Amino acid sequence: MRKTGTSEGAPILVDSCGWVEYLSDGPKAAAYARHIEGSRAMVTSPIVIYEVYKRLRTAYDEDMALKAVAHIQERSEAVPFDASLALIAADISAEERIPMADAIILATARAKGARLVTGDEHFKELDGVTFV
């Protein structure tokens, strides 16, 4: 499914690249802050938590990575990855030709009626995505 209109009241799921930008004050931090610091409901995927922790632990240190994960968990509802979500993600991966982790993240957003906020090129033209 390709990108259609936006859904202003929908919850959001910020992708790993967005959280890393925001938490490490990267070049797109302000753009992500407009989404993260808003009053919208947020959801997240265990894959996002994994990727953010790994990237920040590698680039900085474990303490920063743990604080980042705590912030994500404070701000958003973690959606468990189960068999149903796995099948949705597999379909998305096959149909959109995107990698497994990206498909799981997008499946999580879609299952919760959330818009995916990302700067990852894999998602650029997909339905339900706000590209930063």
- CATH classification of the domain holding 125: 3.40.50.1010
Q: For residue 51, is it within any domain?
A: yes
Which tokens hold the place of 40?
Answer: 């919208």
Domain span including residue 69: 12-131
**Are 89 and 107 spatial neighbours (Cβ–Cβ below 8 Å)?**
yes
Q: How many CA atoms lie within 13 A of 115 on its CB side?
A: 21
Q: Coil, strand or helix: which one is 109?
A: helix
Q: Please tell me the total count of domains within the chain.
A: 1
Q: For residue 18, is it within any domain?
A: yes
**Are 122 and 102 spatial neighbours (Cβ–Cβ below 8 Å)?**
yes
Residue located via tokens 């009241």: 9
Q: For residue 65, is it within any domain?
A: yes
Q: For residue 5, is it within any domain?
A: no
The CA–CA distances, whole Å, from 14 to 33, 83, 94 equal: 10, 22, 22
Query: Does position 67 have pLDDT exceeding 60, yes or no?
Result: yes
The CA–CA distances, whole Å, from 41 to 67, 84, 93, 105 equal: 21, 23, 26, 16
pLDDT at 8: 59
Q: For residue 4, is it within any domain?
A: no
Q: For residue 35, is it within any domain?
A: yes
Query: Does position 38 have pLDDT exceeding 90, yes or no?
Result: no
* DSSP state letter for 25: T
Q: What is the pLDDT of residues 105-119, one digit of tens each?
A: 999 999 999 999 999
Q: How many CA atoms lie within 13 A of 41 on its CB side?
A: 12
Q: For residue 87, is it within any domain?
A: yes
Q: For residue 68, is it within any domain?
A: yes
pLDDT at 7: 46
pTM comes to 0.89
pLDDT at 27: 96
Q: What is the pLDDT of residues 83-97, one digit of tens each?
A: 999 999 999 999 999
